[in-house]
Amino acid sequence: MTDVLPITTAQWLQQAAAALLPLAAQDVAISDVMLEARRLLGDVLDITPTVLMLRYQDPLTLAEQTLLASALQRRQQGEPLAYITGRWWFWDLELEVAPCTLIPRPDTELLVEQALALQLPVNAKVLDLGTGTGAIALALAKAKPAWQLCAVDFNPDAVALALRNQQRLQLPNCQICQSDWFSAMGGQRFDLILSNPPYIDELDPHLQQGDVKFEPLSALVAPAAGLADLQHICTHATDYLTAGGWLWLEHGYQQAEAVQQLLLRSGFTEVTSRRDYAGQWRISGGRYQTCG
Ligand SMILES: C[S@@+](CC[C@H](N)C(=O)[O-])C[C@H]1O[C@@H](n2cnc3c(N)ncnc32)[C@H](O)[C@@H]1O
């Protein structure tokens, strides 16, 4: 049996940072290799930055070294940290994540913010289309316990993942089911419909870069220059909204004008867009008024 030499946390971090340098050279998502090494160690061993600092000169156990070696190898091949550790933060929730769907992004928190800023009934019914991990619906279910959330995805693995998150987080006011956009919604009507659907054009070079190249195309790509799913949702949403109900959609930073046109053509009023914290037009929405 080969002896594994004892190594301290600090030594492992130095070696990992050096090993990540080639990835950082080709991956814009890694700006600081030491920071990335610390995040990897902290997430894999499930320790906070403070505990990590306290353990700096402590030797790692053999089991820890084995776990870290495998995680580092996967990260060196570009695999996103979230898929390696199987968890990721969104809003105030720690979610299980998996390669069957998108890793929730901070940009999408803007949809949650927008939903919370609307004047909705106390017991509002809210639909999240293409829920993935359940990120948007579960964040709202936690923030608004009196709201009734419904979250759907057409991918059965994503539905199972969202259900596991819902159960672990104990948010009974969120129902999750499989549906091809509105297909399983029957005659239900909602005060608010939200979606972060696939909106990337299949030829977009970003699909070959960074974390994105590990994520499923079914969560990212839509025909018609990325607009097909956005168009489908705009066209059909009015059949599932209450009078005065809202539709808010995440889209690509160059799609705000096109999405506004889709909303207007589908009969929405009060159509507007909001920028994300990087200054990009990121979400657009409108209101469905049945008369006047
Ligand atoms: C961009 S991801 C968003 C995931 C999650 N809402 C988030 O923001 O992190 C798009 C999601 O839409 C789902 N999806 C794609 N086509 C769909 C369809 N026809 N009906 C329902 N969901 C669909 C994908 O499986 C994926 O989970």
Domain count, the chain: 2
Please check whether residues 132 and 73 belong to one and the same domain.
no
Residue 109 near ligand 1, beta carbon < 6 Å: no
Per-residue b or e along 202-217, where b marks 16 or more CB atoms closer than 10 Å to that residue's CB: eebeeeeebbbeebbe
Does a structural domain hold residue 16?
yes
Shortest CA distance to 227 belongs to which of 267, 249, 198, 206? 198
Residues 267 and 165 in one domain: yes
Whole-number average pLDDT of the chain: 94
Q: Which ligand 1 atom is nearest residue 105's CA?
A: 9
Q: Report how far apart, in Å, the C-alpha atoms of 125 and of each of 91, 121, 128 are.
A: 20, 8, 10
Distance 279 CA to ligand 1 centre (A): 24
Give the mutation target among 153, 204, 229 for probing the ligand 1 site: most ligand atoms within 8 A of CB. Answer: 153
Assess if residue 66 is contained within a domain. Answer: yes
Q: Is 158 in the pocket of ligand 1 (CB under 6 A)?
A: yes
Give domain status of residue 1, yes or no: no
Compute the distance between CA of residue 271 and CA of residue 118 in angstroms, rounded to an integer: 14
Kindly give the distance from the C-alpha atom of residue 180 to the centroid of ligand 1, in angstroms, as a whole number. Answer: 10
198 touches ligand 1 (CB under 6 Å): yes
User: Is residue 112 within 8 Å of residue 87, measured between CB atoms?
Assistant: no
Q: Determine if ligand 1 sits within 6 Å of the CB of residue 108.
A: yes
Q: What is the CATH number of the domain that holds 140?
A: 3.40.50.150
Question: Is 227 in the same domain as 149?
Answer: yes
Pocket probe for ligand 1: among 105, 196, 201, the residue whose CB has the most ligand atoms within 8 Å is: 196
Q: What distances in angstroms separate CA 210 from CA 81, 85, 221, 256, 278, one per listed residue?
A: 11, 17, 16, 24, 18
Tens of pLDDT along the chain (292 residues)? 455 678 999 999 999 999 999 888 776 567 789 999 999 999 999 999 899 989 999 999 999 999 999 999 999 999 999 999 999 999 999 999 999 999 999 999 999 999 999 999 999 999 999 999 999 999 999 999 999 999 999 999 999 999 999 999 999 999 999 999 999 999 999 999 999 999 999 999 999 988 899 999 999 999 999 999 999 999 999 999 999 999 999 999 999 999 999 999 999 999 999 999 999 999 999 999 875 4
Q: Determine, yes or no, domain membership for 83.
A: no
Instruction: Considering only CA atoms, give the Rg of the chain.
Output: 21
Tokens 């403070």 belong to: 50
Same-domain check for residues 144 and 20: no
Q: Is the CB of 132 under 6 A from ligand 1?
A: yes
- For residue 124, is it within any domain? yes
Cβ count near 224 (within 10 Å): 12
Any domain includes 158? yes
Residue 50 sits in a domain of what CATH number?
A: 1.10.8
Closest residue to atom 11 of ligand 1, CA basis: 130
Q: How far apart (Å, rounded) are the C-alpha atoms in residues 163 and 13?
A: 36
Predicted local confidence at residue 292, as pLDDT: 46
Same domain, 149 and 198: yes
Same domain? For 178 and 44 the reply is no
124 in Cβ contact with 144 (< 8 Å) = yes
Evaluate: CB of 195 within 6 angstroms of ligand 1.
no
For residue 2, is it within any domain? no
Res 26: pLDDT: 76
* Reported pTM: 0.93
Say yes or no: 108 and 201 in one domain.
yes
Is 20 close to ligand 1, i.e. is its CB under 6 Å away? no
For residue 40, give its domain range. 9-78
Q: pLDDT tens across 235-276, in order?
A: 999 999 999 999 999 999 999 999 999 999 999 999 999 999
The Cα–Cα gap between 1 and 225 comes to: 56
The Cα–Cα gap between 216 and 233 comes to 21
pLDDT in tens, 136-176: 999 999 999 999 999 999 999 999 999 999 999 999 999 99
